[in-house]
Every structure is written in structure tokens, then in C-alpha cells.
Amino acid sequence: MSESTEKSLVLVKPDGYRRGLSGEVLRRIEAKGYVPVALAVVTPTHEQLAEHYAEHEGKPFYEPLIEFMSSGPVTAIVIQGERCIEGFRALAGATDPTAALPGTIRGDLGRDWGLKVQQNIVHGSDSPESAAREIGIWFPNL
């Protein structure tokens, strides 16, 4: 792996999974040139989500986020590629689906749920450190 080759965690959130968008997200990841190296469909536990979102504990959106993320299955994917953390976040688009640009996952596939911005199809790691921590939570044997 070169210095710019990274791994990142991508989650197709429960709203995306329910709408059958896991395959479309994976298609866009592969079309961008990133390689999926691990994939699982899981219903996350409260403990798993508490560890994943620990940095947000105590914030007003924390409990609704945990409740939403535990509401059904998610597709967890580890991707690998040159600058894939930054690249996937650009591919995902702005957190708010209404503000996300056309051509991005959230811009093309996201719905406006008002204040429920966490229902935005996907999650992507935001740094190499976060990616390593998150991959360890979702794929402990990787």
C-alpha cells in the first residue's frame, strides 16, 4: 500500500438499506475505482453504535441517531484505494441531502426528512484515525 492508499469504513444506513440502495452505493464506490475488501449486512447493537458514535455522546442528536441507526440492518463496507477517505466523502455529498449536489449519493438518492439529517443514506470515515477505529468496531477480525 502506498502512502496515499487508505482504507475507510462506509455504512449504508438503515434508510438506504430499506430502500434497496446498497447495490447502487457499492456500484458508485467501484465506479470511482475503490475496492471493497470487506462487506457485511448487520443490525447494529446499541453497544456497537455507542462505541462508533462515542464522540457525539451528550449532544442533542446523539440519542435519535443511535435509535435510527439501530432501527434496522446496515450494509457495512471496508473500501480501499488512493485517498479513498476524502474521495468517498466527496462522493457521498453534503450531510444534508437537500444541500448535497447532484451527482453525489446524497444529492441523487437522499430525501429531505426535515430535522432528521442523520437519515442521509451513508456514513464514511472522516480521517485515517477514525477509519482505523471504526473498521475495528465493525470488522474486528480484519
Which residues sit in the known binding site for ATP? Answer: 13, 61, 89, 95, 106, 120
Q: Which one of the listed residues 46, 52, 56, 123 is annotated catalytic?
A: 123
Binding-site residue set: 13, 61, 89, 95, 106, 120
Using DSSP's 3-state secondary structure scheme, residue 27 falls into helix
Q: Is 46 a catalytic site residue?
A: no
* Contacts with 71 (C-beta within 8 Å, 6 or more apart), sequence order: 14
Instruction: List phi, psi (to 5°) of 74.
Output: -125, 155
- HSE-CB of 127 using CA atoms within 13 angstroms: 3
Q: Which residues are catalytic?
A: 123
